Amino acid sequence: MPAETSPVLWHIKVSNFNEKVRWALDYKGIRHIRRDPLPGAHMLVALVLTRRVATFPVLELDGRAIGDTTRIIAALEQRFPDPPLYPAEPDQRRRALELEEFFDENLGHDVRRVAFWELLREPEFVRSRAEEITTPRQGRFLKATLPVMTAMLYRRYSINQQSAAQSLLKVRAAMRLIEEVLAGGEYLVGERFTVADLTGAALLAPIIAPPEFPYGGHLPLPPRLQEIADELRALPAAEWVLRTYARHRPRSAEIGAETLSEASSENGATPVSDHVDAGRSHAG
């Protein structure tokens, strides 16, 4: 697909919902362009593109701007059916879509709320890591506007001590459910990787930090968030996340990713892709 007609993904690098769509694009090998505007400005970009939602990710595909992760993956399944993320068998497909919806509503938002609550209580930590979490330009912007951004995020995502505590309970419950559904197996539905596995693993990735998570998974955490991460990483579902990433998170299909990977190798760094054994608005 020529670059001028390639899909364009507007995303936030460290967001779990954005990782869900990145993974779908990469899994299907869909060559695409990525754009990551300044924090806060992404809401205006989303509104301009979709005329209906103020959240990322947004995917521009075949002249449309799609602004919900479930809708984006549905569009990708229709436009690029192979390799499939939806099971062919009707009952399995229904179950996979049910689990996708469950994880979106009872895991993804809650992982985000817990992480933001703990991170934003440590403003000096955020400032010290801002350029690593985002980009140098975005990091400078984030450091300069952190009090305003904190207030906006607290209001937008209903973040407070009580809601964060409730969200942590929901994350634990969702991880127990994953363990129960797996029942010692490798996949949540049937005998192959589906949208259910992708969604559950992607939404947990920022806190479980598999090596293949492309943005920010290697960064240190503030003490309380590190305690929470250590607790969750000790659960069986976390081991499943690590295995799922190792087996099914392929190299980036972003246009230009090869050049970045080669540059990293020449500088002595190990590209993220080299770790890989390839094989409500749900957004941020």
Give a yes or no: residue 59 inside a domain.
no
Q: Which domain holds residue 141?
A: 90-250
Question: For position 217, which CATH number holds?
Answer: 1.20.1050.10
Tell me the percentage of the chain whose pLDDT exceeds 90.
Answer: 60
Give a yes or no: residue 194 inside a domain.
yes
Give a yes or no: residue 9 inside a domain.
no
Which residues of the chain form beta strands (DSSP E)?
Answer: 8-10, 33-35, 58-61, 64-66
Sign (positive or negative) of CA dihedral 252, 256, 260, 263: positive
**Whole-structure pTM value:** 0.84
Is residue 197 pLDDT above 50, yes or no? Answer: yes
Query: What are 57-78's pLDDT values in tens digits?
Result: 889 999 988 989 999 999 999 9
* Rounded CA separation 186/240 (Å): 7
Give a yes or no: residue 111 inside a domain.
yes
Give a yes or no: residue 181 inside a domain.
yes
pLDDT at position 218, please?
72
Give a yes or no: residue 230 inside a domain.
yes
Query: pLDDT tier at 49 (50, 70, 90 boundaries)?
Result: low
The residue that leads in pLDDT, 217 or 50, is 217
2 neighbors 31 (Cβ within 8 angstroms): no
Give a yes or no: residue 183 inside a domain.
yes
Q: Domains in the chain: how many in total?
A: 1
Give a yes or no: residue 32 inside a domain.
no
Q: Are strands 33-35 and 8-10 parallel, antiparallel or unpaired?
A: parallel
